[in-house]
């Protein structure tokens, strides 16, 4: 009730706000920051002007008829209804225009497909509903999740400037290097699109698609998933942060060190409270999109965890469900997606939150043992 009232309130209050404060009347494609995106922009503008010119000629003749050849002005109809040469002319001329258009389009397409001799390989994997970036040469990877708070989405807080286009960890790339993207997906088809890079490629389970970009200017470039991938399709943005080469190298070293630290965390001794605190955070990032922050889920597709047989029943069953997923349902296998620490923390949290007071605790070490026993 309160929620509805609040929503209605913001709906009304929001009316003038979005009109004035957020006015943005972008009407055209971005030229972008790669040579390919600029070529695409050039093709786009050329074909646009070709259409405009044809439109002016055709609609010009038509409007002339509409104004001059009306019966109300006493215009008597002519009786011509055939003219072979005119027909041939207006078949050939458009054909030649199209040939002229096809030549530069072919050249650009061939360039877009040339993924050879890349400096850096990044594997991009689409998940429901987040992106995973793997730096294949440096051997580390991480997830990139939507960072916009749920309160902003549900109109309980003011929306920030980058509403829905912000992530917890952006994809960091160096400028001036040819980066090859290897795009795939873990569940359904997604599509990785950053307009400023001129890159859009479908992420298809079982396929690895290749594409590339060489970014000219440092900056932050935002994009979104562009293939309907389920409930939260609109909530899996992409943020690319392009930085100079030295800054990039420093970032890579930090990430490699961080990956090492996570491995150390697994062997650390955890208290239950520490696990619960980490678990709540990890749950809200990874699980809450389907099972909801209060564990109520969205049955029947996304079952409730609150009081569920899995979260309150035998521990082993719970471990198996989270690590290996449930075949034929949207429940994914999280075993390879999350670190042992986060998996252990999430399971501990799920078994103790929302009145699921089983009192159980799973340490990262136990989890790792279970994982290995299953292989």
Partner 1 sequence: MSAVIDTHDTEHAHHGPAKGIRRWLFATNHKDIGTMYLVFSFTMFLLGGSMAMVIRSELFQPGLQIVEPEFFNQMTTMHGLIMVFGAVMPAFVGLANWMIPLMIGAPDMALPRMNNWSFWILPAAFALLVSTLFMDGGAPNFGWTFYAPLSTTYGPPSTTFFIFAIHMMGISSIMGGINVIATILNLRAPGMTLMKMPLFVWTWLITAFLLIAVMPVLAGVVTMMLMDIHFGTSFFNAGGGGDPVLFQHVFWFFGHPEVYIMILPAFGAVSEIIPAFSRKPLFGYASMVYAVGAIALLSFVVWAHHMFTVGMPVAGQLFFMYCTMLIAVPTGVKVFNWVATMFRGSLTFEAPMLFAVAFIILFTIGGFSGLMLAIAPADFQYHDTYFVVAHFHYVLVPGAIFGIFASAYFWLPKWTGHMYDETLAKTHFWMSFIGMNMAFFPMHFLGLAGMPRRIPDYALQFADFNMISSIGAFLFGTTQLLFLYIVVKCVRGGEKAPAKPWDGARGLEWTVPSPAPFHTFATPPEVK
Residues 331-360 that bind partner 1 (CB under 8 A): none
Cβ count near 198 (within 10 Å): 24
**Is residue 11 within the footprint of partner 1 (CB under 8 A)?**
yes
Taking a C-beta distance cutoff of 8 angstroms, is the pair 365, 372 a contact? no
Binding positions for partner 1, 285-304, rule CB under 8 A: 298, 300-301
- List C-alpha distances in Å: 366 to 279, 340, 351, 353: 16, 9, 15, 20
Taking a C-beta distance cutoff of 8 angstroms, is the pair 368, 340 a contact? yes
Shortest distance, CB of residue 8 to partner 1, whole angstroms?
8
122 backbone dihedrals φ, ψ, rounded to 5°: -120, 125
**Is residue 1 within the footprint of partner 1 (CB under 8 A)?**
no
When binding is defined by CB under 8 A, the residue of 1, 2, 5, 80 that contacts partner 1 is 80
**Is residue 368 within the footprint of partner 1 (CB under 8 A)?**
no
Spatial separation of the C-alpha atoms in residues 260 and 108, rounded to whole Å: 42
Closest CA to 344 of 364, 368, 374: 364
C-beta closer to partner 1: residue 18 or 317: 18
**Is residue 49 within the footprint of partner 1 (CB under 8 A)?**
no
**Is residue 234 within the footprint of partner 1 (CB under 8 A)?**
yes
Residue range at the interface with partner 1 (CB under 8 A); choices 63-71, 333-341, 342-350, 351-359: 63-71
277-308: b or e for each residue (b if 16 or more CB lie within 10 Å)? ebbbebbebbbebbbbeebebeeeebbbbbeb
**Is residue 257 within the footprint of partner 1 (CB under 8 A)?**
no
Binding positions for partner 1, 158-217, rule CB under 8 A: 159, 161-165, 183, 187-189, 191, 193, 195, 198-202, 204-207, 209-210
Binding positions for partner 1, 86-115, rule CB under 8 A: 86-87, 90-91, 94-95, 98, 101-102, 105-106, 108-110, 112-113
The size of the chain, in residues, is 375
Shortest distance, CB of residue 179 to partner 1, whole angstroms?
16
HSE of 175, CA atoms in CB hemisphere, 13 A? 14
């Amino acid at each position: 009730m309160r929620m509805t009232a609040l929503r209605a309130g913001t709906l009304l209050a929001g009316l003038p706000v979005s009109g004035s404060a957020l006015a943005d009347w972008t009407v055209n494609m971005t030229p972008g920051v790669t040579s390919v995106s600029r070529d695409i922009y050039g093709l786009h503008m050329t074909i646009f002007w070709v259409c405009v010119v044809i439109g002016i000629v055709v609609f010009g003749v038509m409007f002339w008829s509409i104004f001059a050849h009306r019966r109300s002005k006493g215009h008597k109809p002519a009786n011509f209804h055939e003219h072979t040469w005119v027909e041939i002319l207006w078949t050939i001329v458009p054909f030649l225009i199209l040939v002229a258009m096809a030549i530069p389009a072919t050249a650009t397409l061939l360039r877009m497909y040339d993924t050879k001799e890349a400096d850096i390989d990044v594997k991009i994997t689409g998940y429901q509903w987040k992106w995973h970036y793997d730096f294949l040469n440096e051997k580390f990877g991480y997830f990139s999740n939507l960072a916009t708070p749920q309160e902003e989405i549900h109109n309980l807080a003011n929306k920030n400037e980058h509403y829905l286009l912000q992530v917890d960890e952006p994809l960091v790339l160096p400028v001036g290097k040819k980066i090859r993207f290897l795009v795939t997906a873990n569940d359904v088809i997604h599509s990785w699109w950053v307009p400023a890079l001129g890159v859009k490629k479908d992420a298809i389970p079982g396929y690895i698609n290749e594409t590339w970009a060489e970014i000219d200017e440092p900056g932050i470039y935002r994009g979104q998933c562009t293939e309907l991938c389920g409930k939260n399709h609109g909530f899996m943005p992409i943020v690319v942060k392009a930085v100079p080469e030295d800054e990039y190298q420093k970032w890579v070293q930090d990430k490699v060190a961080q990956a090492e630290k996570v491995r150390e965390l697994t062997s650390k001794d955890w208290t239950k409270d520490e696990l619960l605190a980490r678990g709540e955070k990890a749950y809200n990032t990874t699980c809450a999109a389907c099972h909801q922050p209060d564990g109520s889920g969205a049955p029947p597709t996304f079952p409730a965890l609150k009081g569920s047989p899995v979260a309150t029943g035998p521990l082993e069953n719970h471990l198996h469900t989270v690590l290996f997923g449930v075949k034929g349902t949207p429940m994914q296998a999280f075993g390879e997606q999350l670190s042992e620490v986060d998996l252990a923390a999430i399971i501990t949290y799920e078994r103790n939150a929302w009145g699921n007071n089983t009192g159980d605790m799973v340490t990262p070490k136990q989890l790792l043992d279970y994982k290995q026993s299953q292989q």
